Structure formats: structure tokens, C-alpha cells
């Protein structure tokens, strides 16, 4: 688990997790990150977990690519939005186009973690009666880091300082993360249908709804605002990337995109024997 020490939401979640995971401070990190050094280092006896705080902003955590043997990486972070909507979200990372406005590299996606994100949403949903104002949802694939090849997920508190600093919210997120890691250690078979989504808006309400109703666990989700900027050749490239970096993908769900993009996505899916659902 990693966070920025300058992120009040991420650092707040980390503080709670240190208590829940029986963590003790270390003087040095057992993992090298070249010139980058963690500011805070904790070894957690529960579930063999490291908790590392860095000075850098989380969208620039590509140095985590030096981690190769972990089962997963969880990034604890704040979320900002113009709407200021209180939210608890999770998402994979990547730049599914030729831009890298917020870290990472263009045309690069990190390895997603569909089962973790699905379980996390389900676990956080259990607290919705305590936080009725909060939207609980996926966000689509966006921002860096993009070079990580260990399954990576962001978990975020949004969307203003009031929510970021809220200790009740931080505690609920920490409990949701802890329960999800516990669940992951007890899974033998796939508990959900690994799915890639295309279309829809940034907060992916349809994909989130389907995750709960149809047990679709989403990896990469490419929104309509990206797809409408791409040529036919670029759409095919993005489909290949999204499928390659979503483990065990069995299904594609297509929502509200132009017909030629829908055709290209369907052709690539069929060539791989992947089911396509159009909504």
C-alpha cells in the first residue's frame, strides 16, 4: 500500500491502516526505488503487507515499476472534481490516448486489478448508510502511473478538503481496504466476470451498477470522451491495450459510443473469443 505524505486523504487512510494491520516502522525500505526513497516505511505483519509513504504526488508513482513480486499495489489517494461531489471511488490507471496531462506515458496502461476493485466497492457499499451523501463508484481509466506491471488500483476519497480530512471517512476506507485484502487471500476461483468497459462518462455509473447486479468486475474502462477523440486505428490499439492489461477478461460491455467504434471493438473481441454486451 502506498501514498503521498503530502496527501491528507492518503496519509489519513494510511494512519488508520497502520493500526488495523499491526504495522511497525522500519528504518529502510526492503524494496529499492532507484533515486526515490520513501519518507515513511512500515512493515505490517497482517497479510505480509508493506505501507510506504512518498514525497511525490501519486500520479507520478511510475517508480513503483521496480516492484515485481508483490501480489498487488494499492494507492491511497484523494480525488478532486469540479462538482465537489462527495465520493469513494476506485479505478485503474493509464493514458488510453496520445496525451499524458496527469502523469505516466501516452498510450500506456498499468495492469489493472478487477477482482480487488469489485470487492472493494462491495465492501465500501456496506457503509453507505453511514455516509448517505457519498457516491460509491468506479472511475474510468485515467492519469498516471502507467508503467506498473503488478496489479494496481487507486482507492480515493473525494472531492474536497472537507471529505479528505474527515476521519470517519478515512476510517471507513481503511476498513474497506482491510476487508478486501482479507477477502482476496481467501479466494480460490474467480468470484466475478472480468470485464472491460467502453463508453459512458467519467464516473462510470452503468459499469458500477452492472458490477453490483451482474457480478462484472471491471478492469480498464475507456470513456466516451476518449473514444470520440480517436481514429479507427487508435480505437483498435486501445482495445488491444485494455484487454491485454485486464487479467482474465471474459467480457466487454459497450455503452453509448459511435457505431464505427462499436464495430471495431466487437471485431477485436470476437477474434479473441470474448463475449460482447451492448447496452
Q: What is the pLDDT of residues 154-209, one digit of tens each?
A: 999 999 999 999 999 999 999 999 999 999 999 888 899 999 999 999 999 999 99
CATH value of 2-185 in 3.40.630.50, 3.90.1170.50, 3.40.50.300, 3.30.70.20 = 3.40.630.50
CATH value of 193-278 in 3.40.50.10700, 3.50.50.60, 3.20.20.150, 3.40.50.2300 = 3.40.50.10700
Name the pLDDT band for 83 (thresholds 50, 70, 90). Answer: confident
Name the pLDDT band for 9 (thresholds 50, 70, 90). Answer: very high
Minimal CA–CA distance to 14: which of 45, 44, 35, 57? 44
CA dist list (Å): 27 to 24, 69, 164, 183, 248: 10, 21, 28, 30, 38
Q: Domain map of the chain by residue range? A: 2-185, 193-278
Question: What is the rounded radius of gyration, in angstroms, for the C-alpha atoms of the chain?
Answer: 18
Q: What are phi and psi for residue 232, nearest 5 degrees?
A: -60, -40
**Cell numbers placing 14:** 494510511
CA dist list (Å): 96 to 7, 39, 162, 230, 232: 26, 31, 31, 10, 14
Q: What is the pLDDT of residues 11-42, one digit of tens each?
A: 999 999 999 999 999 999 999 998 999 999 99
Amino acid at each position: 500500500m502506498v501514498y503521498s505524505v503530502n496527501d491528507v486523504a492518503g496519509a489519513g487512510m494510511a494512519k488508520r491502516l497502520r493500526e488495523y494491520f499491526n504495522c511497525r516502522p522500519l528504518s529502510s525500505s526492503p524494496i529499492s526505488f532507484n533515486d526515490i526513497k520513501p519518507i515513511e516505511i512500515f512493515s505490517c505483519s497482517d497479510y505480509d503487507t508493506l505501507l510506504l509513504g512518498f514525497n511525490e504526488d501519486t500520479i507520478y508513482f511510475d517508480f513503483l515499476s521496480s516492484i515485481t513480486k508483490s501480489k498487488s499495489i494499492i494507492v491511497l489517494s484523494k480525488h478532486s472534481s469540479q462538482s465537489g461531489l462527495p465520493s469513494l471511488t476506485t479505478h485503474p490507471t493509464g493514458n488510453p490516448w496520445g496525451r499524458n496531462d496527469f502523469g505516466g506515458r501516452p498510450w500506456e496502461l498499468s495492469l489493472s486489478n478487477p477482482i480487488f476493485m469489485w470487492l472493494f466497492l462491495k465492501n465500501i457499499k456496506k457503509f453507505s448508510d453511514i455516509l448517505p451523501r457519498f457516491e460509491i463508484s468506479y472511475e474510468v481509466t485515467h492519469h498516471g502511473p502507467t508503467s506498473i506491471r503488478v496489479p494496481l488500483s487507486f482507492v480515493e476519497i473525494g472531492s474536497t478538503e472537507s471529505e479528505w480530512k474527515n476521519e470517519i471517512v478515512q476510517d471507513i476506507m481503511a476498513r474497506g481496504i482491510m476487508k478486501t485484502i482479507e477477502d482476496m487471500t481467501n479466494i480460490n476461483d474467480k468470484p466475478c466476470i472480468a470485464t472491460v468497459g467502453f463508453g459512458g462518462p467519467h464516473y462510470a455509473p452503468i459499469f458500477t451498477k452492472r458490477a453490483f447486479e451482474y457480478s462484472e468486475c471491471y478492469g480498464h474502462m475507456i470513456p466516451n470522451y476518449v473514444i470520440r477523440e480517436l481514429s479507427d486505428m487508435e480505437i483498435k490499439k486501445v482495445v488491444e491495450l485494455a484487454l491485454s492489461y485486464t487479467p482474465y477478461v471474459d467480457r466487454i460491455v459497450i455503452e453509448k459510443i459511435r457505431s464505427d467504434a462499436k464495430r471495431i471493438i466487437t471485431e477485436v473481441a470476437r477474434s479473441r473469443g470474448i463475449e460482447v454486451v451492448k447496452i
